[in-house]
A and B are shown apart, each in its own frame.
Chain A
Amino acid sequence: MVTTYLRRLYSSFAAHVFDIPPRMLALMLFLLLAFLPLIGLPSTIVTILTGANVLAIFAASWDLLVGRTGQISLGHAIFFGIGTYGTGLLFYHLGHPLWITIPLSLLIGVGASLLIGFPCLRVKGHYLALVTLAFPIILIGLILYFRAFTLGDFGIWNLPTYFPFLPYAVRETAEYYLTLFLLFVSAVTLYKVANSKTGIVFVSILDDELASKASGINVTTYKMMGFAISGFFATLAGSVNAHLIANGRVASIASLRISLSFFVIIYTIFGGIGTIYGPIVGVYILEILDKYVFTQVLSVPSSYRLLGYSVLVIAFIILWRGRGVARFVTDKLEDFEEARDIDERGPRIWKTYKKEGKKIGVIARMRARLKK
């Protein structure tokens, strides 16, 4: 009985690669990121990249919920905040170490995402977006009201650090590797889920809910599943972020700010919505652009920074017709390799079949092409 259940569970999420995942590209990106601190980068950049790792988990979780399931969430910061405050309050009131508080806050996050998902089943489209927008604002209100319990807008300071046994000089680098590892695990999991049986059903709900029902799909269950999975990873990002030195080891209402909910949308649209790997690329490009290039290299005044950033983002979104940088790059690589024969606006899913079931990585194909 148990084995049947486990088999059912695993087969629901076992993935089969439909997309030409730029697997080689993704691996190269991770390797690059893994070697970056070794070449002696200044700690400011390591800090920026650590923050980007966490935001990438957050953006990818948003992409699974919105890009795949179609449940528009404008208040994804609620999960980030629940993660932050979950681990913060558990530490403050009970004094648990972080390896207890973080898993517990993940459980709280999944519970909360189911609670949030439940009223969201009643509304669709724009109304859903508005409902979700309200959640972080409600939580901010609650935190400010129950000041005695949550410390209000002062925030919970001096959360435990990850590597108290390491010397100060390498702690930030160690945290960078920790977040990178978590990003790797989260990205692979989310990508696998998005391309499993469950992932296909998610897209069918995005496309046509009524037709999904007519195909025998329990839409409610799958929507809740989408909320739970997305909420889990968003909470992970929030709770991991709270303990980072880069973040100042503080749980404050900044983790629930509206701009966080909106920036995750910008990263995802810029990177390529519905691809899972797109938002991750988007986060790195935009974070480095904003926090390193604009701030440190060009030293643009902060008021103009957001303007320049916005103009660039809008220009590139228009230039790539909303398909995002990730799809743009993979398309270019494919164009290089073969003449396209399907409508170029069509999704890049299930392209692998064109190769008679053989799955060849982009780089491998590029090499084959060069040999000719």
Chain B
Amino acid sequence: MHLLEVENLTKRFGGLTAVNNVSFHVDEGEIVGIIGPNGAGKTTLFHLLSGFLKPDSGTMKFKGENIIGIAPHEIVNKGIARTFQVVRPFRHLPVIANVMVALCSPRGNRKIEWIKTIERKAMDMLENVGLTELMLEPAENIGHGDLKRLEMARALATEPDLLMLDEPFGGLNPLETDFLTKSIQRIHLDHPTRGIVIVEHKLYALMKIVKRVIVLHEGEKIAEGKPEEISKNKKVIEVYMGKAM
């Protein structure tokens, strides 16, 4: 049984078919990349998977259980956590409290812990992504790269079985990209059964991490395979670079 199984997923916005008949699966402990040019439907696919949008047709199964029509927060509590392409921190709350919110959710707080324990757990999580120094700073005061890492810490706080990262490298400089790559790899090593899905534009950074790549173009899946295969795939090159004259 696959961890996540998506079959014939379709989403239309009026006349535009954002996601068209997409099928794929993610296994336990697998890192899957989803790439595609702008407007390929990557983020829509993410919204569908996390319950923010409802698909028009198709099936989505998580651990063999249907997850279509389930509220976003319930999907998180089933074990799918996501980050956002455009960061969405809780701006009034300090960095540490941003993580504590996720720790207060039913899944993050399964043992019903006291607020002091939660606080300590949040500190540990921030240490994992290297934000200990900025712990008390209000989230509105910290930089974009740090916010990206904060988003990841918040998603990890619910101990998801499937982690979905929406453009984690977007807007990061090479140094930050490198750091984030290492954190993702460490997350993978720490929890070998956790599946990770990454949507990304920066192919160079992505190809180093993932084991399998799915290519979307205009809402359709056009290729799937190992990173080396994909980078040689004619159709993919065509989509990204344009047709040879």
Contact code string B50-87 (vs A, CB < 8 Å = 1, else 0)? 10100000000000000000011110110001101000
Contact between A197 and B115, CB atoms less than 8 A apart: yes
- B226 CB to closest chain A CB (Å) equals 31
A200-B97, A207-B92, A208-B88 given; A218·B73 CB < 8 A = yes
A363 interface residue, CB < 8 Å from B?
Answer: no
Instruction: Give chain B interface residues in 121-149, CB to chain A under 8 Å.
Output: 135-138, 140-141
Picked from A11, A207, A350, the residue with its CB within 8 Å of the CB of B112 is: A11
Interface magnitude class on chain B: 35 or more
Contacts of A16 in B (CB 8 A): 115-116, 119
Contact between A353 and B89, CB atoms less than 8 A apart: no
Which chain B residue has the least Cβ–Cβ distance from A209?
B88
Contact between B104 and A217, CB atoms less than 8 A apart: yes
Contacts of A204 in B (CB 8 A): 90, 93, 97-98, 101
Give the number of chain A interface residues (Cβ < 8 Å). Answer: 37
A351 interface residue, CB < 8 Å from B?
Answer: yes
A203-B93, A211-B88, A211-B89 given; A4·B112 CB < 8 A = yes
Contacts of A206 in B (CB 8 A): 92
In the assembled complex, the Cα of A346 lies from the Cα of B94 at a distance in Å of: 9
Contact between B93 and A200, CB atoms less than 8 A apart: yes
B118 interface residue, CB < 8 Å from A?
Answer: yes
Contacts of A14 in B (CB 8 A): 114-115
In the assembled complex, the Cα of A342 lies from the Cα of B141 at a distance in Å of: 9
Contacts of B7 in A (CB 8 A): none
Which chain B residue has the least Cβ–Cβ distance from A350?
B94
Instruction: Give chain A interface residues in 156-212, CB to chain B under 8 Å.
Output: 196-198, 200-201, 203-204, 206-208, 210-212
Picked from B72, B96, B155, the residue with its CB within 8 Å of the CB of A213 is: B72
- B17 CB to closest chain A CB (Å) equals 24
Contacts of A216 in B (CB 8 A): 73, 76-77, 81, 102, 105-108, 158
B178 interface residue, CB < 8 Å from A?
Answer: no
Picked from A7, A213, A347, the residue with its CB within 8 Å of the CB of B73 is: A213
Contacts of B113 in A (CB 8 A): 11
Contact between B106 and A347, CB atoms less than 8 A apart: no
Contact code string A336-372 (vs B, CB < 8 Å = 1, else 0)? 0000001100110111011000000000000000000
In the assembled complex, the Cα of A235 lies from the Cα of B51 at a distance in Å of: 38
A313 interface residue, CB < 8 Å from B?
Answer: no
Contact code string A278-303 (vs B, CB < 8 Å = 1, else 0)? 00000000000000000000000000
Picked from B76, B101, B116, the residue with its CB within 8 Å of the CB of A201 is: B101
A7-B112, A16-B115, A216-B102 given; A207·B91 CB < 8 A = yes
B100 interface residue, CB < 8 Å from A?
Answer: yes
Contacts of A203 in B (CB 8 A): 90, 92-93, 97
Contacts of B116 in A (CB 8 A): 16
In the assembled complex, the Cα of A216 lies from the Cα of B76 at a distance in Å of: 5
Picked from B76, B104, B138, the residue with its CB within 8 Å of the CB of A347 is: B138
B11 interface residue, CB < 8 Å from A?
Answer: no
Q: List 22 A-B contacts (CB under 8 A).
A: A15-B115, A197-B115, A197-B118, A201-B104, A204-B93, A208-B88, A208-B89, A208-B91, A211-B89, A212-B90, A212-B101, A213-B52, A214-B81, A214-B82, A216-B81, A216-B102, A216-B105, A217-B105, A218-B74, A350-B94, A350-B136, A351-B136
Q: Give B contacts to A, CB under 8 Å.
A: 50, 52, 71-74, 76-77, 81-82, 84, 88-94, 96-98, 100-102, 104-109, 112-116, 118-119, 135-138, 140-141, 154-155, 157-158
Top 6 closest pairs, chain A to chain B, by CB: A216-B105, A216-B76, A207-B90, A215-B102, A211-B88, A204-B101
